[in-house]
Amino acid sequence: MVRYVGLEQLVADSADGYYAALLESTHGWYEDSATPWPWLTYFVRLLAEAYRRFGSRLADEQLAGTKQERVREFVLDQAPAVFRVADVRSALPGVSDPTIRLVLNELRKLGYLAADGVGRSARWRRVRPE
């Protein structure tokens, strides 16, 4: 479930633009001719980008289907050959551990996965169904 887009990551991704806008906004501050507009322009563009990313993620999530379908698709198509529940959790934020375990156990019963170990230390690996 998409809840937000972190502005701090967007600022980090555009650090050069951030500092350039701050510098431009402070020129002439000692002469009382500084203007906040360069920084405000940067910030509004940042908000617009955050809004765009949020909408894009929301649309992707809605197209992805149910949470169980998303887990199934990730495990079978995108996860490494050997992975842990924590890998799925970090790749699919908003999907609960019980949902992840439910799908993993279903795929194990169908012969698509095998579990090496139990509990938190369990590693899952893809296998070919018989």
Tokens of 130: 């018989």
Q: What is the mean pLDDT of residues 9-29?
A: 93
The CATH number of residue 122's host domain is 1.10.10.10
Within a domain: 2: no
Looking at 64, 89, 105, which one is the last position of a domain? 64
Within a domain: 22: yes
Give the Cα separation of 25 and 33 in Å (integer): 10
Q: 11 and 58: one domain?
A: yes
The boundaries of the domain holding residue 59 are 7-64
- Check the CA dihedral 14-17-20-26 and report its sign: negative
Within a domain: 1: no
Please list, in sequence order, all residues whose beta carbon lies within 8 angstroms of the beta carbon of residue 46, skipping any fewer than 6 positions away.
7, 10, 11, 14
Looking at 25, 48, 64, which one is the last position of a domain? 64
| pLDDT surpassing 90 at residue 100 | yes
Query: Considering all CA atoms of the chain, what is the largest pairwise distance in Å, rounded to the nearest integer?
Result: 78
**Total domain count, the chain:** 2
Looking at 64, 79, 94, which one is the last position of a domain? 64
* pTM of the predicted protein model: 0.51
Q: 86 and 57: one domain?
A: no
* Per-chain mean pLDDT for the chain: 88
Q: 86 and 122: one domain?
A: yes
Q: Per residue in 49-98, pLDDT tens?
A: 999 988 888 777 666 578 888 899 899 988 898 999 999 998 888 889 99
